[in-house]
Structure 1
Amino acid sequence: MSDDNLNSGSPIFEPFEIGNTTSLPGRRTRIEIPLARLPSETWLSLPIEVLHGTEPGPTVWLSAAIHGDELNGVEIIRQTLERIDVKRLAGVLIAVPVVNVFGFINQSRYLPDRRDLNRSFPGSAKGSLAARVAHIFMSEVVTRCEFGIDLHTGSNHRTNLPQIRGDMRDPRNRVRAEAFGVPVLIHSETRDGSLREACRKRGIPVLVYEAGEPLRFDDAAIELGVEGTLRVLATLRMLDTSPCNDRHAPREVSDSTWVRARRGGIFRLRVGLGQHVGKRQPLGVIANAFGDQPMSATAPFDGIVIGHTNNPLVNQGDALIHLARIASE
């Protein structure tokens, strides 16, 4: 019942050990892996739930809140776990709803040392706080898996159209990305220090789901994320059923760019997520509080809006609208 492209040789019917805790077939096991002590002497731990199936299959992880203020993924994982019957699961599913516990508590993208966790992989047991968290996540979760789904939102007051990012040249990733059912697929190269780059070096494919904005629940993005995750797990043959996909086939992005502010002022957005725009079409206007001396932000090419700022106060050079060119157009 396992995916032919994934390693199903691991002893799924044997107890599965993680964080010095044993998970038995047919059961859900909650685990907390200590991360570090706070100045108050209180321990912070990495929360994990392991769903150990009753049939052979791959080992897959779900992760969210690598950036501590990106909350949609936390709720996506909760709702996904609610809908899975572990007695009918093939393989092992490792769910980590809050990776950056420090940022999550402080409602911040970063860790207390102002480091970006997604630029700190694969980490180090003796490095910075961010490097230590990255090391624990890699060693305890990622390296035990054959595939992962990492859940994100936009950053810095920006919102994203639901999209999947990953290596679309990998036929395994492309099949799973298409199954997710988002409006657009983006082939993106990895960045040094990112989770995807650390996984690439280990030959572990991963998809990144981006949707919504920080510090907000977006119900539509969450619903799509839950259904998309379940469809991917069904594609891996971990589930015997999946939500029906009545959405249009996703469109692939060939390239994208941020339209930036040519002056500072108050930005009044004139387009929405998913909207198709034409070259030189006005996307919004920057002016002062009275609307004087308006300056338009215009599209550099025909494309689709996949992200935009929600903060109307902008400085010269700020990112305003993320515009993507569709590959078939």
Structure 2
Amino acid sequence: MSGREAFKINGHVIEAGTRRTVEVPVSTLSDHTPVTLSVHVIHGKKPGPVMFVSAAVHGDEVIGVEVVRRLLKAKALKSMAGTLMAIPIVNTYGFHNHSRYLPDRRDLNRCFPGVSEGSMASRLAHIFMEEVVRRADVGIDLHSAAIHRLNLPQIRLTPGNDTLAELGRAFGAPVMLPSKLREGSLRMAAEAAGVDVLLYEGGEGLRFDELAARAGVSGILRVMQHLKMIGGKGVPKVRHAPVLARESHWYRAPVGGVFRCFVPIGAAVSRGDVMGAISDPFGEAEREVICDGRGIVIGRSNMPTVYEGDALFHVADTPRADHAAEGVNAHMEAAPLYDEDEII
């Protein structure tokens, strides 16, 4: 028997060396169906950090759900030190409705830290902060692009946070990008509570993406290894060091029309490169979308029809774009991280 104390959450007791899914009451639907926050807790026999991994804060960003599913099957977790709290679906309402938002049309990621007697979103944010975030030392929050857009696997960092920069390098996504804290976001509320949170972006809304899933699972395992929660056996090594981009910006549609994309996600682009073109349905007039700097495409639209001003390409500015593109290719060419019969 381990001498480590049990982990307690919402009245449930998880003994050292065991794991359990805990249902935290949130609310009831209008037909009186109960809504809960499902938290899977793995409480290791050995002492170590408490980490949470959360997904689907935006209900339509489902790639994180798959990342968490694969993570919980990883063999490396069987002899884990510390404690892992895995929450595959934070925004249950949005997940069931294939929506980014809650039924009251609020964005959960603008409602933290929340209050116990506020709106539906505010109450859910409060419960998540109290039952999960404040119990943790560090967190990883999984996101994707919105619907009709695709994101390259990437880590968003709070500027000036050296701890997160170190964890981001351990995660090993192709690109790391500084991202200011937004009022009401989980990251801002968590950092105010003394809990550093890595933000992972990859894939697209309402879709599974194999590259994003692989990068997410392997990145979380690397962070856990870095924190000495797990050993190195079965943890994929970083093939290319992440590129730290200085900033990023969107290229928008100069006109409305039929959009044709010429560069894939993860491509290195330079000044003068034609990234795409927009024409009228008859092909009588055409406008090119031309790169005016140097960087790597970390996000793009999947929509073939666009309005003037629509966001088309998200480019991270970096002089090492070719190096970052090599890292993307290394991710895409890697062997699958798991097999259903023999998990890492």
Could you tell me how far apart the structure 2 residues matched to 1:251 and 1:12 are? 43
The equivalent of 1:95 in structure 2 is 86
1:42 is matched with which residue: 24, 29, 33? 33
Could you tell me how far apart the structure 2 residues matched to 1:107 and 1:140 are? 25
The equivalent of 1:198 in structure 2 is 189
| SS of 2:170 mapped into structure 1 | helix
Letter of the 2:261 partner, please give it: L
| SS of 1:226 mapped into structure 2 | helix
Residues 267-324 of structure 1: CA deviation (Å, up to 9, x unaligned): 1111111111111321111112222211111112111100001111211111010011
Cα distance change, pair 315–66 in 1 and its aligned pair in 2 (3 A): same
Task: Could you tell me which runs of 5 or more consecutive residues in structure 2 were left unpaired when the two chains were aligned.
Answer: 322-344
The runs of at least 4 aligned residues of structure 1 exceeding 4 Å deviation read 84-87
Alignment of 1:218-297 (within 5 A): 218-242=209-233, 243-297=235-289
Deviates more, 1:81-90 or 1:95-104: 81-90
Letter of the 1:262 partner, please give it: P
The equivalent of 2:293 in structure 1 is 301
Deviation at 1:188, TM superposition (A): 1.1
Letter of the 1:179 partner, please give it: A
Letter of the 1:245 partner, please give it: K
Letter of the 1:289 partner, please give it: P
Could you tell me how far apart the structure 2 residues matched to 1:138 and 1:309 are? 33
| SS of 1:126 mapped into structure 2 | coil
Letter of the 1:244 partner, please give it: P
The equivalent of 2:341 in structure 1 is none
Could you tell me how far apart the structure 1 residues matched to 2:312 and 2:257 are? 12
Say what the alpha-carbon RMSD is for the aligned residues. 1.6
1:157 is matched with which residue: 145, 148, 151? 148
Deviation at 1:19, TM superposition (A): 1.5
The answer to whether the aligner puts 1:325 opposite 2:317 as a matched pair is: yes
Partners of 1:73 and 1:97 within 8 A in 2:
yes
Cα distance change, pair 78–21 in 1 and its aligned pair in 2 (3 A): same
Partners of 1:12 and 1:56 within 8 A in 2:
no
Letter of the 2:191 partner, please give it: R
The answer to whether the aligner puts 1:135 opposite 2:126 as a matched pair is: yes
Work out the percentage of aligned pairs sharing the same amino acid.
45
Partners of 2:24 and 2:38 within 8 A in 1:
yes
Cα distance change, pair 250–87 in 1 and its aligned pair in 2 (3 A): closer
Deviation at 1:123, TM superposition (A): 0.8
The equivalent of 1:174 in structure 2 is 165
Deviation at 1:174, TM superposition (A): 1.6
Cα distance change, pair 12–217 in 1 and its aligned pair in 2 (3 A): farther
Partners of 1:52 and 1:86 within 8 A in 2:
no
| SS of 1:33 mapped into structure 2 | strand
Deviates more, 1:239-248 or 1:250-259: 239-248
Task: Could you tell me which runs of 5 or more consecutive residues in structure 1 were left unpaired when the two chains were aligned.
Answer: 1-10
| SS of 2:214 mapped into structure 1 | helix
Could you tell me how far apart the structure 1 residues matched to 2:276 and 2:77 are? 49
Could you tell me how far apart the structure 2 residues matched to 1:253 and 1:68 are? 28
Letter of the 1:257 partner, please give it: H
Partners of 1:27 and 1:87 within 8 A in 2:
no
| SS of 2:258 mapped into structure 1 | strand
The alignment's TM-score, normalised by the length of structure 2, stands at 0.89
Partners of 1:27 and 1:86 within 8 A in 2:
no
